[in-house]
Structure 1
Amino acid sequence: MIEIRIPKEIKNYREKLFFGLTLRQCICTAIALLICVPIYIFGNRFLPQEAVSWVVILIAVPLMFTGFFRYNDMAFEQFALEIIRFYTSPQQRIYSYEPPFMELRNGYMTEELITETEEKKSRKKRLFRKK
């Protein structure tokens, strides 16, 4: 009998393409290979092997994180943006209190003001009407 593994949450399902990797992972791996292999091959002519290896690692790690890293259903770039926003935005929150019924009161006051102005206009019209 054929058994199929079904994830508990449907959003967790990722379709696998090649070697058990998703399309995003395959693309990021291919980009990392296309960039890093030529750098390593041609970089050995100009720099020592250890320096070229570190350059390749520093280039490959962000690309691989982009493809493989997920945290709370966020991709790496979304997670990185949230971290940047967290550290660049003010951490001390400004406390401001607005009473719960202030919006209702403001609405009532504007309605009352509108009716008063309409009444004044109608009174002026009555006073200046020719008889």
Structure 2
Amino acid sequence: MAYVPVPKDLSKVKTKVAFNLTKRQIICFAVALILGLPLFFLLKDSAGTSLASVVMIAVMLPCFLFAMYEKHGQPLEVVAKHIIQTKFIAPKERPYQTQNLYAVLERQRKLEKEVSAIAKGTYKKGSGKKKRRG
């Protein structure tokens, strides 16, 4: 009797379309073939078989990486986007900033005093900043 391993986390199971490949893998492999084979046959006569095969591999390799590479459930383009964002787009220094709740309450109290002074008619412009003379 044959035993088939069943994964415990079914969210990681991907739907296979044909030849035990996902739709994404089939599309990427097709693009690799469409790019690599004509290039090989064009370069085979002029550059030699060895160089043509190396160029074909170099052209097809990114397609294979996009088809197969996955890190933490994310495909290569998502991982590359995150790397580019953190290395080049986001600021290098991100200082830790807290919101001082006391300062917010102090500003709110000051504004409420000002509004009540305006409502009573005792508000004087510039009275919010008092200068101390010592």
Structures share a fold, TM > 0.5? yes
CA deviation map 1:95-117 (0-9, x unaligned): 44442444444445445544444
Q: Which residue of 2 aligns with 1:129?
A: none
RMSD: 2.8
TM-score by length of 1: 0.72
Query: CA separation of 1:69/1:119 partners in 2, compared to 1, >3 Å: closer, same or farther?
Result: farther
Query: CA separation of 1:31/1:102 partners in 2, compared to 1, >3 Å: closer, same or farther?
Result: same
**How many residues align structurally?**
121
Q: Which runs of 5+ in 2 are unaligned?
A: 123-134
TM-score by length of 2: 0.71
- What is the alpha-carbon distance in structure 2 between the residues aligned to residue 85 and residue 43 of structure 1? 37
Query: CA separation of 1:86/1:47 partners in 2, compared to 1, >3 Å: closer, same or farther?
Result: same
Q: Which residue of 1 aligns with 2:73?
A: 73
Matches within 5 A, 1:90-101: 90-101=91-102
Query: CA separation of 1:50/1:3 partners in 2, compared to 1, >3 Å: closer, same or farther?
Result: closer
Residue 65 of structure 1 aligns with an amino acid whose one-letter code is: L
SS at match of 2:38: helix
Of 76-85 and 50-59, more deviation after overlay is shown by 50-59
Q: Which residue of 1 aligns with 2:28?
A: 28
CA deviation map 1:16-48 (0-9, x unaligned): 111111111111111111111111112112223
Q: Which residue of 2 aligns with 1:40?
A: 40
Q: Which residue of 2 aligns with 1:63?
A: 63
- What is the alpha-carbon distance in structure 1 between the residues aligned to residue 74 and residue 113 of structure 2? 49
Of 10-19 and 93-102, more deviation after overlay is shown by 93-102
Q: Which residue of 1 aligns with 2:131?
A: none
Residue 100 of structure 2 aligns with an amino acid whose one-letter code is: P
- What is the alpha-carbon distance in structure 2 between the residues aligned to residue 118 and residue 86 of structure 1? 51
What is the percent sequence identity of the aligned residues? 23
